[in-house]
Amino acid sequence: HGLSRSGWPRAWREHELRDRYDAVIIGGGVHGLATAYYLARDHGMRHIAVLERAYVGSGGSGRNTAILRSNYLTPEGVRFYDRSIQLYEHLAADLNFNVMFSQRGHLTLAHNDASLRTMRWRTEVNKLQGVDSEVIGPDRIGELVPYLDTSAETRYPILGALYHPPGGIVRHDAVVWGYARGADAHGVHIHQQTEVTGIDVEHGRVRGLRTNRGRIATPVVLNATAGWSSLVSHQAGVEMPVQTFPLQAAVTEPVRPFLDTVVVSGTLHVYVSQTDRGELVFGASVDPFASYSIRGSLEFTEGIAGHVLELMPALHRMRLLRQWAGLCDMTPDYSPIMGPTPVEGFYVDVGWGTYGFKAGPVSGEAMAACIADGKPPEIISAFGLDRFADGRLVGEKGAAAVGH
């Protein structure tokens, strides 16, 4: 039972679906699995299920570009993402699973005065929160990334950059598998191919949910989905201020390592990094229309190729290997929605836009504390659903990702 067909031990087990759990987490991505892991490990909760419609990591956790950073714009955002970086720094040891976190530094290029001003603003907020960021000029950028065209002859000359040394990349699948294995070792039931078809609410409180494999009674449900988060919350009668957009990405054939920083250009709507395998990973901003489609488009391929070549003309002979898309749940202020909802026992960890993967560890830690204590811990207190009614927005547009 504990072995796969090839004879290797299974990283996590399969279980019969029980008709009762103490908590059910919808979504087997990094957020849902991390929440289950910390709930079981740190809060001693037993009888936890994670329900995943497809396979673990099949949503945003397996579709992102694996970039980690904490150089945000608001103090609330910087503190939150910085805690995630701290957890990532110890994750391989914690999970006993090599997640290949490479803190190679992260550069956000400024091609105009307005961007440079925002970079300076972010630098000051970052420093006040103890996060390492500084604005650097074209000469230093050229030393860090020799292949970048830092001349004044380009369409959008590079005026400077926000340099964030602790940022970098990680092996995103390993993070998902590590949390899944860790959660399983603490007794969590991971149910793949298990789709939630309804959430039962009586007298303002969660009673259970229905799935394609049967009913489950539970007093606690966490919506940790991405792409369909508003539809899942709607099943509990809770409306989310979320609009869903596709985001496309691509990788090239592998080449010898030459790029050991992450390079982001908001003006050119593109970010580039090189994996340990040698592939270049390219990502774009979200598609310009709301949709649940994850089909690739030729417009994306043409656009990304053109923009990458504006930054690094020497790459003109490289070939793209594959492209894909993921779904981004955008909120009005570009910050997530985390914590309790008006339905007792129904919690959300949603609205992750284009920035969810890097927040997986801190979200898991914070949502586990929130569920165990019945109230949000300080680190996520600014991200509650009620902020939209009260007008306490946490505006992260200037640092969320590219091209918003």
356 binds ligand PYC (CB under 6 A): no
CB nearer to ligand PYC: give 33 or 73.
Answer: 73
- Min. distance of Cβ 271 from ligand PYC in angstroms? 5
Residue whose structure tokens are 């003006």: 267
CA triplet 101, 107, 108: central angle to 5 degrees?
Answer: 125
> Using CB under 6 A, which of 354, 376, 382, 385 touches ligand PYC?
354
- Give the CB-nearest residue to ligand PYC: 401
Angle, CA of 16, 24 and 350, to the nearest 5°: 135
Under the binding rule (CB under 6 A), the answer on residue 355 touching ligand PYC is yes
> Considering only CA atoms, which of 109, 208, 213 is closest in space to residue 158?
109
Q: Cα–Cα–Cα angle for 103, 34, 65, nearest 5°?
A: 40
Question: Minimum Å distance from CB 401 to ligand PYC?
Answer: 3
Mapping DSSP to helix (H, G, I), strand (E, B) and coil, where does residue 196 land? strand
Minimum gap (Å) between residue 327 Cβ and ligand PYC? 13
Complex with ligand PYC: residue 168 or 364, whichever CB lies closer: 168
Does the footprint of ligand PYC cover residue 133 (CB under 6 A)?
no
Please list, in sequence order, all residues whose beta carbon lies within 8 angstroms of the beta carbon of residue 283, skipping any fewer than 6 positions away.
65, 247, 248, 249, 270, 271, 402
Residues 41-80 as x/- pattern, contact with ligand PYC by CB under 6 A:
------------------------x-x-x-----------
Closest distance between ligand PYC and the C-beta of residue 354, in Å? 4
**Shortest distance in whole angstroms from residue 198 CB to ligand PYC:** 32
Spell out, one character per residue from 160 to 179, where the chain touches ligand PYC: x when CB under 6 A holds, - when not: --------------------
Q: How far apart are CA 17 and CA 239, in angstroms?
A: 28
**Using CA atoms in the order 264, 168, 81, 129, what is the torsion angle rounded to 10 degrees?**
-90
> Closer to ligand PYC at the Cβ: 169 or 216?
169
**DSSP per residue, 334-355:** SS-EEEE-SSBTEEEEE--TTT
* Residues in region 227-286 near ligand PYC by CB under 6 A: 271, 283
Contact footprint for ligand PYC (CB under 6 A):
65, 67, 69, 271, 283, 354-355, 401
